[in-house]
Amino acid sequence: MSSAQALRRITILGATGSIGASTLDVIARHPQRFAVAALCANRQWQPLLEQIARFRPAYTALLDAQAAGELAAAVRREGLPTSVLCGPQGLCEVATLPEVDTVVAAIVGAAGLAPTLAAARAGKTILLANKETLVLSGSVFIAAVSAGGATLLPIDSEHNAIFQCLPPGYAGSPEERGVRRILLTASGGPFRVTPLSALARATPEEACAHPRWRMGRKISVDSATMMNKGLEVIEAHWLFGARREQIDVVIHPESIVHSLVEYVDGSVLAQLGNPDMRTPIAQALAWPSRVAAGVSPLELAQIGALHFAAPDPARFPCLGLACAALDAGGSAPATLNAANEVAVAAFLDRGIGFLDIAAVCAEALARLPARPVSSLDDALEADRAGRAVARELLGRQAVSA
Which residues in this chain contact Mg ion in the complex, by CB under 5 A?
156-158
DSSP assignment of 209-255: --SS----HHHHHHHHHTHHHHHHHHHHHHHH---GGGEEEEE-TT-
- CB-wise, 8 or 229, nearer to ligand NAD? 229
- CB-wise, 278 or 363, nearer to ligand NAD? 278
Contact residue for ligand NAD among 204, 216, 241, 330 (CB under 6 A): 216
Binding mask 75-114 for ligand NAD (x = CB under 6 A): ----------------x--------------xxx--x---
Residue 41 within binding range of ligand NAD, rule CB under 6 A: yes
Residue 49, amino acid: L
Three-state secondary structure call for residue 120:
helix
Could you tell me the smallest distance in angstroms from the CB atom of residue 390 to ligand NAD? 17
Residue 16 within binding range of ligand NAD, rule CB under 6 A: yes
In the bound state, the residue with its beta carbon closest to ligand NAD is: 17
DSSP assignment of 318-355: HHHHHHHHHHH-TTHHHHHHHHHHHHHHHHHTTSS-HH
Which helix (H) or strand (E) covers residue 158, if one does?
helix 157-165
Phi, psi of 105 (to 5 degrees): -90, 95
As a whole number of angstroms, the distance between CA 224 and CA 354 comes to 9
Residue 42 within binding range of ligand NAD, rule CB under 6 A: yes
Could you tell me the smallest distance in angstroms from the CB atom of residue 22 to ligand NAD? 7
Phi, psi of 251 (to 5 degrees): -80, 135
Contact residue for ligand NAD among 35, 129, 226, 293 (CB under 6 A): 129
Judging by beta carbons within 10 Å of its beta carbon (0-12, 13-18, 19+), is residue 201 exposed, middle or buried? Answer: exposed
- CB-wise, 141 or 363, nearer to ligand NAD? 141
Residue 63 within binding range of ligand NAD, rule CB under 6 A: yes
CB atoms within 10 A of CB 12: 31
Residue 368 within binding range of ligand NAD, rule CB under 6 A: no
Contact residue for ligand NAD among 72, 94, 132, 251 (CB under 6 A): 132
Residue 277 within binding range of ligand NAD, rule CB under 6 A: yes
Contact residue for ligand NAD among 20, 57, 148, 188 (CB under 6 A): 20
The CA-to-CA distance between both ends of the chain, in Å, stands at 65
Residue 321 within binding range of ligand NAD, rule CB under 6 A: no
Q: Which residues bind ligand NAD (CB under 6 A)?
A: 14-20, 41-42, 44, 63, 91, 106-108, 111, 129-132, 156, 213, 215-216, 218-219, 277
